[in-house]
Every structure is written in C-alpha cells, then in structure tokens.
Amino acid sequence: MGMVDTPGERRGTKAKGHQRKRIGFRLDMTPMVDVAFLLLTFFMLTTTFSKSNTMEINIPPEQGEVKVAGSNILTLRIPGDGMAYCSLGDLAPRRIPLYEPGDKGRKALSGDMRSLLRQQSLSNSKLVIVVKIGQKAKYKQLVDIIDELNMMKIDRFSLDDYTPQDDLEIKKSV
C-alpha cells in the first residue's frame, strides 16, 4: 500500500529560516495492477463475441444474356403491402400473404408461400425464381425470402428491379 517515510523529523523545534525536511512518499501500485488485470480477464471471458450476420451470394460472371423459357420463370413481386404476387411465365399473378396472418413478429414466411416455392421447384428442375422488391418493401422481407430459398436448397434465383410494369401486373392479380 502507500506509505509515508518520515526520516528523523523533530517535533516542536521550528527555527526561523530552517525549512522542514520534505516528506518522502512511496505508492505501491501492485494491488491496482492486480485489480486491473482481474477486471480485464473477467470482461474478456464473460463477453460474447458475436458472429457477423452475412449471407454469401455467388454472382455468376457476366457473359451476356442467358436465355430461359418463359414457362421456367417464377416471378415473385413484393410491393411492400405484406403480400407477395407470384406468377409463372406470362400468367396473371397470384396473391399470397408473405407472412402468416397472426405472426406479429414476422418470423417466417407463410405456409402458402413455402408450399408454392417447394411445389414449383420440385415440379420443374429448370425453374428460375426472379425476386422483385418494391420501394416500400422492407429489407427484412428480401432477406427472409433468400433465407427460405437457401433452406429449400433452391439456388437458381435472381434479383431484379421493380418497375412500374410490375405494378400493372399486380393490378391484374387473381
């Protein structure tokens, strides 16, 4: 600990012009260093190191345009109203809820959406899913759709721009 050294100081004898001797002071830093290292190791061992939440997307090299038959394209339009509009080829889009109606936390896609994706991917091995996200849609909706496609092992999908033509297609929905 800290202590004060008083080398031979006499009490009561104070002469004029005679200055008091300076008192030596020594501070022992060992306990403070011990506490600092204890706190450091405590926080290092008790904090959790979070993994970054990233999604790996492999982008094919740009070699030009790839021709795909219209009957092999399933278009998912997500305008941001909580619904998904799915159309196969040139057919009118079908309106499907994106999430379960009672799911306030919006944890998972609706059973209708899952069954549609599963059924279409199993019935057509050359199916390409085109996902179009509107301006009002949330980023989480895109991530949920891509997560669902990854869980179903569907790796043939594409992201495309949402255009005013897509709004016209949605108005034709069944």
pTM of structure: 0.60
Amino acid code (one letter) for 39: L
Q: How far, in whole angstroms, is CA 128 from its chain's centroid?
A: 26
Beta bridge partners of 19: none
Class of domain 70-171: alpha beta
**pLDDT score recorded for residue 13:** 54
Alpha-carbon distance of 171 to 169, in angstroms, equals: 5
pLDDT of 174 higher than 70: no
Tell me the pLDDT band of 39, cut-offs 50, 70 and 90: very high
Max CA pair span of the chain: 111
Where are the domains positioned within the chain? 70-171
Tell me the pLDDT band of 8, cut-offs 50, 70 and 90: low
> What is the tens place of the pLDDT at every residue in 49-80?
767 777 676 676 777 777 777 788 888 999 98
- Tally of residues, the chain: 174
Tell me the pLDDT band of 32, cut-offs 50, 70 and 90: very high
Query: DSSP assignment of 66-106, as one string?
Result: PP--GGGEEEEEE-SSSEEEEEETTSPPEEEESB-TT-SS-
